[in-house]
């Protein structure tokens, strides 16, 4: 997620979700559709992005999904964005939205303990803090959050297995749109420790602020 440092009134300038698995792929077939970027305002940019995405992925093994939205340019990109993956630590963004949403519904700020755990969960990807927050959220609440943001194909992990939440790039884009409207979420996702702030930060201009949460598993999905 990239926000403009100057456009204070615009909650977000670009949202992107990239999911991937190396080695074994899901589903079983390794077919990769061409990237489809569209923009009624800047069709040349959309065409160039489609070509650039295809070039970046040429010759790579495994499965990659991309979902991108730049509302300022009316730009959207899709590449196999409905393929399903284990979420690993990007499920922490769902937890973040659920905890902040619950506090807002109750008409209060997050408690000190909630804030401490959310900070550890997002900025350092602390699994213990995530598990503690997850245990305080009912499955019904998580399902309602997903429904409300339009993440139709995401299924929360069972029991304490938050990292086995199943999701798609398209759903992650919808979730990012929701958390981008929460100042505390943006603040935390802009303070991820350096060794975990890889991916979307690469090549980002110095004039923009990057907010992200990455996830990884020691196996392919």
> Could you give the angle at the alpha carbon of 84 between the alpha carbons of 11 and 54, nearest 5°?
75
Dump pLDDT digits (tens) for 51-101: 999 999 999 888 999 999 999 999 999 999 999 999 999 999 999 999 999
Regarding beta strands 15-21 and 63-70, do their DSSP bridges make them parallel or antiparallel, or are they unpaired? antiparallel
Q: What is the pLDDT of residue 16?
A: 66
- Reduced 3-state DSSP string for the chain: CEEECCCCCCCCCEEEEEEEECCCCCCCCCCCCCCEEEECCCHHHHHHHHHHHHHHHCCCCCEEEEEEEECCCCEEEEECCCCCEECHHHHHHHHHHHHHHHHHHCCCCCCHHHHHHHHHHHHCCCHHHHHHHHHCCCHHHHHHHHHHHCCCCCECCCCCCHHHCEECHHHHHHHHHHHCCCHHHHHHHCCCCHHHCCCCCCCCCCCEEECCCCCCCCCCC
pLDDT of the residue at 17: 67
Check residue 27 and give its pLDDT.
40
Q: Which residues pair with 66 in a beta bridge?
A: 18, 79
Instruction: Report pLDDT for 6.
Output: 37
pTM given for the model: 0.87
- Asked if 87 and 165 touch (Cβ cutoff 8 Å), the reply is yes
Going along the chain from its start, the domains and CATH numbers come out as 84-192 (3.40.710.10)
Segments in the chain below pLDDT 70 = 1-18, 20-33, 219-221
């Amino acid at each position: 997620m990239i926000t403009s440092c100057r456009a204070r009134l615009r909650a977000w300038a670009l949202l992107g979700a990239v999911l991937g698995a190396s080695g074994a792929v899901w589903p079983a077939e390794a077919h990769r559709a061409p990237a489809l970027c569209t923009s009624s305002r800047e069709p040349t940019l959309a065409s160039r992005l489609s070509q650039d995405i295809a070039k970046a992925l040429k010759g790579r093994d495994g499965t990659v999904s991309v979902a991108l939205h730049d509302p300022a340019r009316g730009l959207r990109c899709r590449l196999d964005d409905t393929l399903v993956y284990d979420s690993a630590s990007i499920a922490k963004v769902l937890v973040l939205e659920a905890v902040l949403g619950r506090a807002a519904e109750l008409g209060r700020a997050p408690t000190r303990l909630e804030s401490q755990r959310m900070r550890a969960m997002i900025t350092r990807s602390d699994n213990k803090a995530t598990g503690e927050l997850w245990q305080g959220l009912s499955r019904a609440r998580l399902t309602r959050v997903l429904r409300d943001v339009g993440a139709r194909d995401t299924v929360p992990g069972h029991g304490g297995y938050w990292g086995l939440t199943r999701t798609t790039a398209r759903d992650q884009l919808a979730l990012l749109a929701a958390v981008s409207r929460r100042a505390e979420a943006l603040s935390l996702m802009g303070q991820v420790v350096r060794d975990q702030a890889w991916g979307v930060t690469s090549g980002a201009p110095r004039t923009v602020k990057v907010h992200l949460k990455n996830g990884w598993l020691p196996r392919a999905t």
